[in-house]
Amino acid sequence: MRLLAVRLARSIWLFPRYFLNPKGVDTRPVFDAIKEKYTFLKTPLDNPKGMGNEELKFEFGSYAGKSGSVAIVALTLHADGIVVDTRSSTDDGDAFLEEVTMWVGNNYGLPSYKDLPLKRIYASELNVALDKSPKIFDPKMASFLKEANSILGKDRGGKAEFIGFQIGPDPTLTDKPAPFRFEREINTAFGENRYYSFSPTTTAVHFKLLDLLEKAIT
């Protein structure tokens, strides 16, 4: 399997946003400092009228991660938590959030991430290429595939093949996370073996799932 692109690595920290500013101090100096330290091109201060909105967003910044400079696509403060988007890994997103909250806490007297009752969840989107065509279907499906080909494939100018699938938990028994998805990349020839995948996990766990999947289907 070859990685073609990290489409999205999203770290989500859930907690009531008012915990970030328990004493109601003026946060404009904090926002200015974050903009300068992480070179954000856009901040909530660019639209003062929107400062009272539930969503406060920083866009197009940079963070010095362990393996080099990391582009921060967006840092968004919602009423129920913080979301950071990168195109590197959720580990980078978590490290950035830990650093920025610690730095703000040390310099402005606001809580760090260690003081917050947070719950961490993730979203990972990857584009990958397989070296071999996948073999998804059980041999017992042969008769169905033959019939499907006559209806969906050959009569329409091509051979019908595996497109994708989803795997997820019972939504009535969980917090309803998004399902794991693995599907052919849109508008690409089947012979290219290019796929899009979504996982409600860290980037590292997503890679592990795809490795296990590749071993099972090729």
Go through the domains of the chain in sequence order and give each one's CATH number: 9-122 (3.30.70), 125-217 (no CATH)
Q: What is the DSSP string of 86-143?
A: ESS-HHHHHHHHHHHHHHHHHHH----GGGS--EEEEEEEEEEE-SS----S-GGGHH
Angle between helices 28-37 and 90-108 (to 10 degrees): 130
Q: What pLDDT score does 113 carry?
A: 92
Q: In the structure encoding, which two tokens stand for residue 103, read together? A: 């730095």
Query: 3-state SS of the chain: helix, strand, coil percent to 5?
Result: 35, 30, 35
Query: Tens digits of per-residue pLDDT, 174-207?
Result: 777 899 999 999 999 988 999 999 999 999 999 9
Q: Which of 202, 204, 217 is nearest to 3 (CA)?
A: 204
This prediction has a pTM of: 0.89
Residue 153: DSSP 8-state: I
Query: Tens digits of per-residue pLDDT, 53-103?
Result: 678 999 999 999 888 999 999 999 999 999 999 999 999 999 999 999 999
Q: Is the pLDDT of residue 154 over 70?
A: no
Q: Are residues 30 and 75 in contact, defined by beta-carbon separation less than 8 angstroms?
A: no
Residue 138 banded pLDDT, cuts 50, 70, 90: confident
Q: What pLDDT score does 143 carry?
A: 81
Query: Tens digits of per-residue pLDDT, 140-153?
Result: 777 887 787 777 76
**Which residue matches tokens 């052919």?**
184
Q: What pLDDT score does 147 carry?
A: 81
